[in-house]
Amino acid sequence: MRIHRRTLLALALATGLTAPAMAVAQAEDIKIGVLATFEGAFTVLGEDGERGALTALDEVGGMAAGNKIVVVRGSSDASPDSAIRAARKLVEQDGVKILVGPLSGDEGIAVKDYAKTQPGVTFINGSSAAQDTTLRDPAENFFRFSTDGAQWMAGLGTYAYNEKGYKNVAVVAEDYSFPYTQVFGFMAEFCKAGGKVPSKSWVPIGNKDYSSVIAAIPDDVDAVYVALGGADAVNFLTQFQQSGGEAPLIGGSITVDQTVLTSKGRLRDVLIGTPAAGPTADTNDTPEWNAFVEAYKKQEGAFPSPSLFAHAYYIGMKAALLALEETGGKLDDDGANFRKVLSSLSFETPTGKVSLDKNRNAIADIYLTEVTEGPDGNLLNKLIKVVPQVNQTLGIDEAEFLALGAVSRENPSCP
């Protein structure tokens, strides 16, 4: 009896601990990891990111250079720790040589740091848009085809000051690197044009109660710049509207994204007319964009129009597929040739031409938009203006731009 019991224990332990390690992958298929937020406050955003990546894959029938592409998913909750854990699982356990992701700002910085320890793996950014992912201390094998949060703001500060006539603007944004980057991009232009930002409120991700934040917004501001995402944006906007907030809004790129515009409730009253800027515009009517929207809509659970997360993951996945096609699907030299092709890749996307700078950060068109009501009653980002080929230093000389300092809660400042 005793031996029987012990054998059982030994067996259970041995199989439990080692069996999954023996499940080795098949050789021919190319595995691409997709890392997005499938849990936490940004779940809706992550799911749309995945749709974008799958749209790019469906365009080529799931094949690149005759090799079948297998997508392996990894989930994070927008915290850097969870992103690293998911990335390590994809790279070290599933053995992906190409990883598309992550979604959120600080995740991107963490994954960039991790990329340095895995020189044989190619990391292509999803939609994370913190500036320092590529600007300072970049990783050789981390590529961003989706531009950063400061680039996304191109044209907005000037538009708000000159066209809208806002002189004093309060800022409400989430307290991490991506909104810092967005606020930096907005204020760079807005302050230069002569605008003032008397108050900045940084709120934690996943905050539910915004009453104190709303109360702290000065009465005499002309508008409120809001850079919140997903559930946070919906919560803030609802409470802002309920508390009788009357100041017009200026939107960060993900604040008036489809993930927010499609939410139910009386948000529409506060949102209509809100100017914003970002890498996409819903009413863009170029044939390339329309074709992309049609392809995107075939994905399960798709929004009326792709969010910028779908767009960013699409671009990242597309770049990977194009480069794979060009290298014949070969990654056997630890992907060195693949990365060489990626670095010099320049291609037409649904939103215009994309190419990379020396830090492997994208140079691309940015769209200035305004929220309007669409023909069937849904809210859309109407295209106002295209700002062509914005680079990471926003057209400023690189040395001068770096001298502005790293984005943070205090930088920039023009009270």
Partner 1 sequence: MNAHVTQDPATPTRNLLARIGTGHLVLAALLLAYPLVSSDFFLTQIGGYSLIFGMLALSLSLLAGYGGMVSLAQISFAGVAGYTVAIFGENNSNILGFGWPWWLVMPLALFFAATSSALIGWVSVRTEGIYTIMITLAVATAAFYFVRQNYTLFNGFPGYTGLRAPIVFGVNFRDPVPFYYMCLVAATLSYAAVLYAARSTFGLTLQAIRDNPRRMRAIGFDVTAHKVVAWFYAGLIAGLAGVLLVWFNGRISPGTINVAAAINVLIIAVIGGLKHPIGPFVGAVMVVLMQTFAIDIVGAERFNTLIGVFFLAIVFFSPDGILGLWGQLRQRLAQEDLRSRQ
Rule CB under 8 A: which residues touch partner 1?
1, 4-6, 9-10, 13-14, 16-18, 20-21, 36, 38-39, 46-47, 50, 72-75, 77, 79-82, 84-85, 88-89, 92-93, 106, 109-110, 113, 175-177, 204-205, 409
Least distance from C-beta 95 to partner 1, angstroms?
9
At closest approach, how far in Å is the CB of 89 from partner 1? 6
Measured CA to CA, the distance from residue 389 to residue 42 in angstroms comes to 29
Q: According to the 3-state scheme, what is the secondary structure of 299-312?
A: CCCCCCCCCHHHHH
DSSP annotation string for 99-157: EE---SHHHHHHHHHHHTT-TTSEEE--S---GGGTSSS--TTEEBSS--HHHHTTTHH
Torsion, CA 305, CA 240, CA 230, CA 175, rounded to 10: 140
Alpha helices in 281-383 (DSSP H): 287-297, 308-326, 336-343
Token pair belonging to 262: 């499609």
Whichever of 142 and 161 has its CB closer to partner 1, that residue is: 142
- Tokens read off for 149: 């949060």
74/279 with CB nearer partner 1: 74
The CB-of-93 to partner 1 minimum distance in angstroms stands at 4
Query: Please, what is the minimum distance in Å from the beta carbon of residue 210 to partner 1?
Result: 15
Non-local (6+) Cβ contacts of 126 within 8 A are 34, 35, 36, 49, 53, 100, 101, 102, 103, 146, 309, 312, 313, 316
For 15-60, give the secondary structure using H, E and C.
HHHHHHHHCCCCCCCEEEEEEECCCCCCHHHHHHHHHHHHHHHHHC
Contact 84, 112 (CB under 8 A): no
Q: In the complex with partner 1, which residue's Cβ is closer, 81 or 140?
A: 81
CA distance 401 to 394: 8
Q: Which run of H or of E encompasses 364?
A: strand 362-373
Q: Minimal distance in Å, beta carbon 358 to partner 1?
A: 23
**Measured distance CA(388)–CA(363) in Å, rounded:** 9
Residue of 132, 83, 136, 137 whose CA lies nearest to 111? 83
Question: Closest approach of Cβ 57 to partner 1, in Å?
Answer: 15
CB 205, min distance to partner 1, A: 7
Give the nearest distance from C-beta 103 to partner 1 in angstroms. Answer: 12
- The distance of closest approach from Cβ of residue 18 to partner 1 in the complex, given in angstroms and rounded to an integer, is 5
Looking at the Cβ atoms of 36 and 115, the one nearer to partner 1 is 36
d(CA 276, CA 157): 9
Give the DSSP letter of residue 167: -
Cβ closer to partner 1: 90 or 354? 90
Rounded to a whole number of angstroms, the minimum distance from the CB of residue 71 to partner 1 is 10
Choose between 80 and 155: whose C-beta lies nearer to partner 1.
80
**Residue type present at position 317:** M
Closest approach of Cβ 176 to partner 1, in Å? 4
Residue 342 Cα distances to 318, 322, 357, angstroms: 11, 8, 11
Which residue lies nearer to partner 1 by CB, 56 or 156? 56
Question: Of 21 and 399, which has the nearer Cβ to partner 1?
Answer: 21
Coil/strand/helix, residue 329: coil
